[in-house]
Amino acid sequence: MPGAGAAVILAAMLTKADDYPIHQLPEPIATSGTDRNFYDRYFFNGYSPDGRVFFAAALGVYPHLNVMDASFSIVSDGVQHNLRASRLMNMERMDTRVGPISVEVIEPLKTLRLRVADNAHGIRAEATFRARAPAVEEPRFTHRIGPRTLLDYTRLTQNGAYEGFVEIAGERVGLNGTVGTRDRSWGVRPIGLPDQQPALPLRMPQFYWLWAPLNFDDRFMLYHKNADELGRSWNEASVIGALGEAKPQHMARASSKIAYKQGTRHAQSATLDVADADGAPWRVELTPRFQFYMSGIGYMHPEWGHGMYRGDDALGYDTYDLATVNENDPRFQHIQAFVEATLTGPGGVTRTGSGVLEQLVIGQYAPDRLTGIFDPAP
Q: What is the DSSP string of 260-316?
A: EPTTSSSEEEEEEEEE-TT--EEEEEEEEEEEEEGGGGTTT-TTT-TT----TTEEE
Cα 234–240–244 angle (5° rounding)?
A: 135
Round to whole Å and give the CA distance between 117 and 112. Answer: 16
* Model pLDDT, residue 312: 87
Round to whole Å and give the CA distance between 354 and 211. Answer: 14
> What's at 280, amino acid-wise?
A
Round to whole Å and give the CA distance between 103 and 42. Answer: 8
Stretches in the chain below the pLDDT threshold 70: 1-12
- Contact assessment for residue 223 and residue 210, using Cβ atoms and an 8 Å cutoff: yes
* Model pLDDT, residue 32: 81
Burial class (CB in 10 A: 0-12, 13-18, 19+), 111: middle
Round to whole Å and give the CA distance between 362 and 294. Answer: 15
* Model pLDDT, residue 2: 44
Round to whole Å and give the CA distance between 65 and 190. Answer: 12
Left, alpha or beta for 367 (phi > 0: left; psi -120 to 50: alpha)? alpha
How many angstroms separate the Cα of 358 from the Cα of each of 48, 209, 291?
17, 8, 9
**Which domains occur in the chain, in start order?**
38-192+202-368 (2.40.370.10)
Query: To the nearest 5 percent, what fractions of the chain are helix, strand and coil?
Result: 5, 55, 45
* Model pLDDT, residue 11: 53
How many angstroms separate the Cα of 27 from the Cα of each of 23, 60, 242, 328?
8, 21, 41, 45
- Contact assessment for residue 89 and residue 67, using Cβ atoms and an 8 Å cutoff: yes
Task: Record the pTM.
Answer: 0.94
- Across the chain, which distance is largest between two alpha carbons, in Å? 79
HSE toward the beta carbon, residue 248, CA cutoff 13 A: 25
- Contact assessment for residue 158 and residue 109, using Cβ atoms and an 8 Å cutoff: yes
* Model pLDDT, residue 59: 98
DSSP 51-98: SSSEEEEEEEEETTTTEEEEEEEEEETTEEEEEEEEEE-TT-TT--EE
- Contact assessment for residue 248 and residue 136, using Cβ atoms and an 8 Å cutoff: yes
- Contact assessment for residue 159 and residue 109, using Cβ atoms and an 8 Å cutoff: no
Strand partners, 357: 337
- Contact assessment for residue 230 and residue 326, using Cβ atoms and an 8 Å cutoff: no
Sequence-ordered list of residues with C-beta below 8 angstroms from that of 19, at least 6 positions apart, any chain: none
State the DSSP H helix or E strand holding residue 275, giving kind and residue range, or none if neither: strand 267-275
State the DSSP H helix or E strand holding residue 126, giving kind and residue range, or none if neither: strand 123-131
- What's the CA dihedral at 188, 255, 212, 337 to 10 degrees? 110
